[in-house]
Structure 1
Amino acid sequence: MTVLPDDGLSLAAEFPAATRAQWQRLVTGVLSRSGEDVPAAEAEDALSTALEDGLRTRPLYTAADAVPDPGLPGFPPFVRSGRAAGSAVGGWDVRQRHATADPGAVLTDLENGVTSLWLAVGPGGIPVDGLDRLLRGVYLDLAPVALDAGAETADAAQELLAVYARRGVAPEAALGNLGADPLGTEARTGSAYDGDGFAATVALARLCVEAYPGLRALTVDALPYHEAGGSAAEELGASLATGVAYLRALTDGGMSVEQALGQLEFRYAATADQFLTIAKLRAARRLWARVAEACGAPSAGAQLQHAVTSSVMTTARDPWVNMLRATIATLAAGVGGAESVTVHSFDHALGVPDAFARRIARNTSTVLIEESHLARVIDPAGGSWYVESLTDGLARAAWEFFQEIERSGGQAAGLRSGRIGQRLAATWAERSRALARRREPVTGVSEFPYLGEKPVVREPAPAQPSGGLPRVRRDEAFEALRARSDAHLAATGVRPRVFLAALGPAAAHTARLTFAANLFQAGGIEPVTEGSFEDSGAGEVCLCSSDAVYEERAAEKAAAFRSAGAGHVVLAGRPAAYPGIDSYVHAGCDAVTVLSATLDRMGVS
């Protein structure tokens, strides 16, 4: 045991050490004062939060929460980093996506902080024969290029290699990824790849091994599963099953396990749930290291990761908030150890980003790297009992889903049978219920919406590949309600309105008045709080006050408003047997159902 010298700074050393049991008893006392009679042994469960995949966030983590040893950075199981140096030298690769043939935007990005390019090629993106023009002026021996060409991968890869040759780029100086991902393309489009498709992928990988050591041929893109509503564990499990399928194809094609492992790059979503994102990237490296170990090449199991800020979290309403979401997601991706990070622009849900949006996106990484010095520390979350525990729990849940896919015949079989799609749909349905009840709030959409916001208009983005797994967004249900309100405003000159009747003193009605105003605005319904009901232009009334005031005045006020012409009387509070009240709104109610029914009654189509 190391004995520290007495420096006179004993701080809390003279106090007895606290125990977990003491903490539990104190928590129990606090809970009892709030009306909850919970045994001390169950105090932590009472304060824990349920996450997806059967995980729970507990209120207290200590050294007693043992997890497997994460190892050292750059060594198996690579939990802490795939490289011994982490990202301490130069930060992560700032990789921006381009889906339109705009050479000016490409050069502007590269001249202002972007270090590699992610190019969407093919139908709805950059034409294959447009790569040469798009990359004119780009130093291709300095800026890696990652292709995303779907079914046109072979043609796009050949064209990119031809561009390298025409520019005099030596094969060993070419950097990036050719983006072959037949199973990812199948997930996106529903079109199954045959043996020839996999043969072409193997041929690209063999070419990279033999002649282009700086290029990888394959991408394991987990975004289709995230964007279909999958959980973090489902995203990881699907990526493992896809990666294993590619390892089988490459080794069956004559490559060694080490060569095959070196041809894969993994792409994951980074969300504003920063701790879950950090844990997901760490768990992904641990799981892939386990796969490499099972294949007999543990030292080659360092997973190369490309993190992309989530499109599921991006909103069309109040899009400026997306800058904040993207900043948190980028921070999480960097802390989680991703080698490359793509920041979607704040107007991603609206169409083609403008120059300002691209600038903010690329500067998000620059600020975190250069000003926050985030990349100077290897695995800064490592050692946090919470993060280590979350990493372990997520890894176990993902491994279970991966084994389920493998038992059912592998990733291709799971996609073609619909089993994977059904699993993701069930997860999204459960999450949609939480979104509808605002238990998962969406700032600027389901919480604190601003009806006076001027719409941000962008040129429509090229059509995304479709036909396979769906693409979802957290704001979609509320967006549909707001769109109905917008159409009504355009047709009539006014939004649908509801009159909020404050009963009693401010101390009695303020909380529920604020709640009701926030709720109705989430559906595009304008709350009116000033003047009289007769002058409000509203056809419905919502009573707002305390339970005590309701007992005395709710029935009387409901009758009075009914006499004044109110077609529907709502009460902000838990359902009770108040005469004259037609419906109730309260915390935890299904806001989407309530607001949709309200718009229906108001004749808003």
Structure 2
Amino acid sequence: MAEETNIEQSKSKPMTDKELEELLRKSEQNASYPDVPFDEFTVPTPEEWVAACNELLKGKPFDKMMYTKNYEGITFDPIYTLRKWKDILPTDDYPGMGDYLRGSTVNGYVHEPWGIAQACDLTEPQENNELLKFEISKGSTVYHVRVDSATLGGIDVKDAEKPGDKGVSLTTLEDMHTMLDGLDLEKLPYMLYTGEGSARLLAMTVAALKAAGKKIEKLHGIIGADPIGELVKNGKTAESLDALYDQMAGVIKWAKKNAPGLRTILVRSTVFSLGGAESVQEVAYTYAVAVEYVRQMMKRGLDIHDISQAIAFEFNQGANFFMEIAKLRAARQIWANIMKEFGAEEADRASFVHGRPASFTKTVIDPYVNMLRNCTQSFSSVVGGVNTFENEPFDELIRKGDTFSRRIARNIHIMLQEEFGMQAPIDQAGGSWAVEALTKQITEKIWAKFQEVEAAGGVIAALKDGSIQKGIADVLAARFKALELRKDRAVGVNMYPNMTEEPLDPRPENTEEIKKILVAAVEKYEADVDAKEAEAKLAAVKAAAADVLVDAEAEAFAAGATIGQVAKAAAKAEGEVTVEAIAEHHWTEKFEALRRDTEAYIAKTGKNVEVFLANMGPIPQHKARADFSTSFLQVGEFNVHLNNGFQDDEDKPNSRWEKAAAALKAGIDEAGTPYDCAVICSTDATYPEDVPGMAPLLKAANPTMKLFLAGAPAKDMKQTYLDAGVDDFISVSANCFDILKDLQKRKGMIE
């Protein structure tokens, strides 16, 4: 892609102040609002606004407190004003045309809302069939099937390591027929991610529909592959990329002829998102993959129109609400310009985007908070303009969804459409000074990152040299560090832990029993298969060119061949490209592992890290820091022993110190079991007197414990406190993870 490609925010000329005032005046004239005078209000200047903020900040630096940096390298302004950003407003751009900044369709969601594509992933085909029907009956509008790892890899259930691990298990045509039975695929879209190649599962679908007497040409939606995505996920592909590209081209040709409403490439950002990528990386690397597909398809003789109609994208929506809206708007604009460079007509420059909440941002601990995360991520996806969306159940990291979690996930769509009126506005974020500014900024950064990959020789070269993996790993490390320091807050995990939480039952499936049932069904099916006919059709698959592979595989399935047999017959050259795989993560995994270590130790020994709060003075004096320290240490699920504070007797100055030391020495129970650590809690004003006097007494009462001081010390007092016996400080700048991990080691929970 040429570096000089012009990515513009708007093709309109910048408005002058006079033109802007005239535009606002006309808008006011056309409005039906009553005339409300504001003569009594004086419009503050930016300088006055900053001065008012500084007064509230009480000496804290304005530039540090009021500007927010994010992982994309974009700084959020404290306030966005029309006069600052008026020149970038898209006054001459309209939804459904141009560079598609404002939406992929002219009418937005007015006539056709986004597709509700809740993934159905139950292991047995009959169960998944019932779930698909149930989802549609309750409001879903897309049949979205998720298959298990074995099916994705073309492995029969008898050879599967864990059938149903991530979705439905499909081995035979009967399995597919059972799963699709009674579904109206002529009316509603069908969505299925197929892994490295789409021919095999498309052929199985086609064979099942033909056997049921259904019209193939009415099949629409996405049955899409992403071979480079699988390469990044696994570090290699089963077949060579050239063979997979040949298959991709053949399937596009087949779909154009037989099912023109079907997209057969699904370029997913999921592997990058799960690796920890920020939004700029996510879009840039996803588009680098897509551009490689476009080039490879053009090399195989396909025209840009057919390629554009075959491609769909899947983007993961993260937790930064406004940034995620801007990301989707920028992504449409950039793709339109990329396709323009490839010679696509305007109608073929629109992108089809399937959205989903980012699993990276979900938590295992306090999982009900995931409902809130899903809500904001769904909202930003809709405002950003997705075509279809799947809202994962809140318990996705723990188990497959149940009736309750699926209902909550599905109802977020329905509330947004029916109660919040999100179908009515077209380009809901259009004209928002903040979103338009962020869109412009992230567009420029995505384009620059995309050009980096292009300069490296394309996505395969960048994956081989590890630059993509390193870039994502650096962001992942930064995310983990921010959580450790609690600059990023995961409610219920590294902040505000719920000590009464009952972990969700993971409801593990009886894999061995399920496998027996599924294998028995396959064996019964195979008993009626004409082996010679099946072998003949498999031989035809082996000899088939890419252009006729779907039909050849469909006939093999119809003859009784299994998915494993078809995969083996169709296999071409083995994959020759290997890269460093990008592992899956979720952002709170380190804290969750820490909590599991505590829970395992308690289950094994009945013991825990015991924390003594040396609260000084009356409750108002120590409460703030006592509460902070309690929450800080309960992140590790430690026992924090509370008290109302130690105070002097009238005739004994500083007797509070001896009282605290005596209570500490007495231990946690009648047996005198010692505390593992203590935290002095009071105020900065009292610490210069309390800490030097009390810390030595506390250390003498329990020499082996670790002693903390709540709050960051004044620079001129830190060494004094350390000399008195304080070992460390619990404050907003402390590394929570490191402190908790150290206490676990001292207790013997971990090595």
TM-score (norm 2): 0.76
Please, which moves more after superposition, 160-169 or 302-311? 160-169
- Identical pairs, percent: 28
CA offsets per residue over residues 320-364 of structure 1, 9 Å max, x none? 111111111111111111011111111111122222111211112
Q: Give the structure 1 partner of residue 606 of structure 2.
A: 493
CA offsets per residue over residues 536-555 of structure 1, 9 Å max, x none? 25321111111122111123
User: In the aligned structure 1, how far is the partner of 2:106 from the partner of 2:397?
Assistant: 37
Please, which moves more after superposition, 472-481 or 103-112? 103-112
Counterpart of 1:262 in structure 2: which amino acid? Q
Q: Give the structure 1 partner of residue 96 of structure 2.
A: 74
CA offsets per residue over residues 467-518 of structure 1, 9 Å max, x none? 8211111111110110111011211234322112211222221111111111
Q: Give the structure 2 partner of residue 9 of structure 1.
A: 35
Equivalent residues in 2 for 1:416-455 (5 A)?
416-455=464-503
User: In the aligned structure 1, how far is the partner of 2:402 from the partner of 2:277?
Assistant: 30
Please, which moves more after superposition, 400-409 or 66-75? 66-75
User: In the aligned structure 2, how far is the partner of 1:358 from the partner of 1:10?
Assistant: 47
Q: Is the 8 A contact 1:271 1:326 kept in 2?
A: no
CA offsets per residue over residues 90-145 of structure 1, 9 Å max, x none? 42111112333332322221221111133233414433433322222222222322
Which one of the candidate residues 690, 698, 706 is aligned to 1:568?
Answer: 706
Q: Is the 8 A contact 1:350 1:460 kept in 2?
A: no
Counterpart of 2:631 in structure 1: which amino acid? N
Equivalent residues in 2 for 1:586-605 (5 A)?
586-605=731-750
Please, which moves more after superposition, 435-444 or 173-182? 173-182
Q: Give the structure 2 partner of residue 257 of structure 1.
A: 304
Counterpart of 2:627 in structure 1: which amino acid? T
Equivalent residues in 2 for 1:37-76 (5 A)?
47-63=66-82, 64-65=84-85, 66-67=87-88, 69=90, 71-76=93-98
SS in structure 2 of the partner of residue 201 of structure 1: helix
User: In the aligned structure 2, how far is the partner of 1:418 from the partner of 1:142?
Assistant: 45
- Following superposition, the deviation at residue 296 of structure 1 comes to 2.1
Equivalent residues in 2 for 1:68-467 (5 A)?
69=90, 71-99=93-121, 100-101=123-124, 102-103=127-128, 104-121=130-147, 122-123=149-150, 124=165, 125-128=167-170, 129=172, 130-151=175-196, 153-192=198-237, 193-297=240-344, 298-460=346-508
- Following superposition, the deviation at residue 30 of structure 1 comes to 4.7
Q: Is the 8 A contact 2:198 2:251 kept in 1?
A: no
1:35 pairs with 2:59: yes
- Following superposition, the deviation at residue 8 of structure 1 comes to 7.6
SS in structure 2 of the partner of residue 178 of structure 1: strand
Q: Is the 8 A contact 1:245 1:411 kept in 2?
A: yes
1:557 pairs with 2:694: yes
SS in structure 2 of the partner of residue 177 of structure 1: strand
User: In the aligned structure 2, how far is the partner of 1:191 from the partner of 1:117?
Assistant: 30
Counterpart of 2:209 in structure 1: which amino acid? Y
SS in structure 1 of the partner of residue 319 of structure 2: coil
SS in structure 1 of the partner of residue 468 of structure 2: helix
User: In the aligned structure 1, how far is the partner of 2:297 from the partner of 2:119?
Assistant: 28
User: In the aligned structure 1, how far is the partner of 2:320 from the partner of 2:65?
Assistant: 22
Q: Is the 8 A contact 1:271 1:328 kept in 2?
A: no
Please, which moves more after superposition, 19-28 or 44-53? 19-28
Please, which moves more after superposition, 576-585 or 553-562? 553-562
Which one of the candidate residues 707, 710, 730 is aligned to 1:585?
Answer: 730
Q: Is the 8 A contact 2:313 2:351 kept in 1?
A: yes
SS in structure 1 of the partner of residue 361 of structure 2: coil
User: In the aligned structure 2, how far is the partner of 1:588 from the partner of 1:131?
Assistant: 56
Q: Rate the CA distance shift 1:157–1:371 in 2: closer, same or farther, 3 A.
A: same
Q: Give the structure 1 partner of residue 49 of structure 2.
A: 23
Q: Give the structure 1 partner of residue 519 of structure 2.
A: none
Gaps of 5+ in 2: 1-21, 151-164, 512-578, 645-662
Q: Is the 8 A contact 2:469 2:580 kept in 1?
A: no
Corresponding residue pairs, total: 595
CA offsets per residue over residues 524-564 of structure 1, 9 Å max, x none? 21211138433425321111111122111123322232233
- Following superposition, the deviation at residue 68 of structure 1 comes to 6.3
User: In the aligned structure 1, how far is the partner of 2:285 from the partner of 2:500?
Assistant: 42
User: In the aligned structure 2, how far is the partner of 1:522 from the partner of 1:501?
Assistant: 19
Q: Is the 8 A contact 1:543 1:571 kept in 2?
A: yes
Please, which moves more after superposition, 559-568 or 183-192? 559-568
User: In the aligned structure 1, how far is the partner of 2:65 from the partner of 2:368?
Assistant: 36
SS in structure 2 of the partner of residue 265 of structure 1: strand
User: In the aligned structure 2, how far is the partner of 1:167 from the partner of 1:327?
Assistant: 39
Please, which moves more after superposition, 151-160 or 222-231? 151-160
User: In the aligned structure 2, how far is the partner of 1:409 from the partner of 1:7?
Assistant: 57
Q: Is the 8 A contact 2:709 2:726 kept in 1?
A: yes
Counterpart of 1:55 in structure 2: which amino acid? I
Q: Is the 8 A contact 2:177 2:209 kept in 1?
A: no
User: In the aligned structure 2, how far is the partner of 1:546 from the partner of 1:29?
Assistant: 24
Q: Is the 8 A contact 1:91 1:376 kept in 2?
A: no
User: In the aligned structure 2, how far is the partner of 1:244 from the partner of 1:181?
Assistant: 12
SS in structure 1 of the partner of residue 490 of structure 2: coil
Please, which moves more after superposition, 51-60 or 225-234? 51-60
User: In the aligned structure 2, how far is the partner of 1:543 from the partner of 1:223?
Assistant: 46
Equivalent residues in 2 for 1:482-521 (5 A)?
482-521=595-634
Q: Which has the larger radius of gyration?
A: 2
User: In the aligned structure 1, how far is the partner of 2:331 from the partner of 2:223?
Assistant: 22
Q: Give the structure 2 partner of residue 525 of structure 1.
A: 638
Q: Is the 8 A contact 2:680 2:710 kept in 1?
A: yes
